[in-house]
Copies of this chain bind each other. A is one copy, B any other.
Amino acid sequence: MPAPNPPNPMKTMQVVYRVAGAASEIEARARAIAVEQSIEMPPGAVRNERVMREILGRVEDISDDGAGHFLVTIGLALETTGGEAGQLLNMLFGNSSLHPDLELVDLVLPGEGGPYFGGGPRFGVEGLRRLCGAVGRPMTATALKPQGSTTAELARLAGIFARAGIDVIKDDHGLADQGSAPFAERVGAIQAEVDRANRETGGRTLYAPSLTGGPRRLLAQLSAARNAGVRAMLIAPMISGLGALQELAGEGLPILAHPALAGSARLAPPLLLGKLFRLAGADAVIFPNHGGRFSFAPDQCLALAEAARRPWMGLAAALPVPAGGIHLERIEELLAFYGRDVMLLIGGALLEAPDLESAAQDFVERVAAAGSRT
């Protein structure tokens, strides 16, 4: 393999893998990863000079990570992604996901990476706050459940939540386009109910329906949602595609990204949910909170929240949305833990309260009160 010239650093991204293996073999393994994630063929058989110089991945760093693991940094040409978020994921981990000895842990993009992928969140933390009139405080969210409910039942719930002043009401991610509450019917009825509540209270609750399906179905749902006056959307990028998130982010509505299927990967959650979902345009990123039904550790939750909202290539901050079995008694603890730039998502705990209306009001008031103290 001839030694390639140094790349233009403005055009290279650094991809960091954690690889299991022996020290004696890690250099060869690192080179194999660099090939697999770029030209995917024997380098000796490449006849195009430019491909060898600019496209072939190169090993930029190998460092011992302890316990028989190494952190391997591969430089890949930004142009191989074509600026498309799904293809970015393909370049980062497409074939290497099929190898059990490595995890994808981080990505460093050059400054031009932000605009190249579309500019990230169009609303972000401050945009969502502005839309909901939630300036200077943490935000509240809840979910319409369970799947199998009728449209009327879901709309009634939405009305209660909106009258209580919850900032964002999203479809449960299990609501798709089922017979029990077909998408267009459901979304129209719920948005109408939320609009009615907003008019009554002077509030600005957003409703985010869950968009699902292949290209034609997704676009038809987008169109139906617009016609219903919807002003936010929910999508699960690991099911519908990171590319779908990227396209929807350009539609002028804020987007919540759901982590369904995201946990099955050997793909670090702070990178996937925090950085990549944000890069592809998610304005708010839902993730499993620590101490609930899921097993994310507090450190991991905080790392994810920080990845979503810290300064990065001039992109707007995405709002971290911890969720998954949060009980009402944890509101103050979690706001202290995450800080003010957060949206707490409480679903089941509201629904099982003896008095739904007052539980929802309690949620809203305590978040506002805790926020004014931070």
- A residues touching B (Cβ–Cβ < 8 Å)? 32, 36, 38-42, 44-46, 48, 50-51, 54-55, 77, 79-82, 84-87, 89-91, 93-95, 97-101, 145-150, 153, 172-174, 176-180, 212-219, 236, 239-248, 259-267, 288, 293-296, 324, 347-348, 351-352
Contact = CB atoms under 8 A, between A and B. Distances in A.
A97 B324 CA distance: 13
B236 A214 contact: no
Given A148-B80, A177-B84, A241-B241, A347 B41 contact: yes
Given A41-B352, A82-B178, A352-B41, A97 B248 contact: no
B176 A82 contact: yes
Nearest to A176: B87
B215 A219 contact: yes
Contacts of A247: 213-217
Contacts of A242: 239
Given A48-B148, A241-B244, A243-B214, A236 B94 contact: yes
B46 A264 contact: no
Contacts of A48: 146, 148-150, 153
A84 B243 CA distance: 19
A295 B100 CA distance: 8
A146 B215 contact: no
B352 A44 contact: yes
A295 B36 CA distance: 14
A141 B209 CA distance: 42
Contacts of A264: 93, 97-98, 264-267
A42 B36 CA distance: 45
B215 A244 contact: yes
A41 B348 contact: yes
A80 B147 contact: yes
Given A38-B147, A87-B239, 14 more contacts: A32-B293, A38-B174, A40-B173, A41-B145, A41-B347, A41-B348, A48-B153, A82-B177, A84-B217, A89-B261, A95-B260, A95-B324, A212-B243, A264-B264
A178 B79 contact: yes
Nearest to A48: B149
A150 B215 CA distance: 29
Given A55-B147, A293-B36, A295-B99, A214 B241 contact: yes
A94 B260 contact: yes
Given A239-B242, A351-B45, A148 B86 contact: no
A237 to B, nearest CB: 9
Contacts of A288: 98
B241 A173 contact: no
B266 A351 contact: no
B294 A99 contact: yes
Contacts of A173: 40, 90, 94-95
Contact of A79 (B32, B36, B87, B180): B180
